[in-house]
Homo-oligomer: A and B are copies of this chain.
Amino acid sequence: MTTVRTPTRNRGNRRAEILAAAATLFAARGFHGVSIEDIGAAVGVSGPALYRHFSGKEALLAEMLLDVSSRLRESAAAVVTARTGPEETLDALLDVQIIFALEQPALITVHDRELGNVPEPQRRQIRRLQRLYVEEWVTVLAELHPGCPPPRLRAATHAVFGLLNSTPHSAGELSARAMRPLLRAMARAAIGASAATG
Give per-residue flags for A155-185: 1 if the beta carbon is below 8 A from chain B beta carbons, else 0: 1101111111110011001100011011101
Chain B residues within 8 Å of A163, by CB: 159-160, 162-163, 166, 190
Instruction: Find A152's partner among B155, B182, B187 (CB 8 Å cutoff).
Output: B182
Secondary structure of the A contact surface, majority rule: helix
Number of interface residues of A (CB under 8 A): 45
For this chain, the copies found in one complex come to 2
The yes or no answer to A192 lying at the interface (CB within 8 A) is yes
- A159 to B142 alpha-carbon distance, docked (Å): 24
Known contacts A116-B28, A183-B159, A186-B190; A152 and B174 CB within 8 A of each other = yes
Where the two chains meet, the residues of A that have a C-beta atom closer than 8 Å to any C-beta of B are 28-33, 112-113, 116-117, 151-152, 154-156, 158-166, 169-170, 173-174, 178-179, 181-183, 185-194, 196, 198
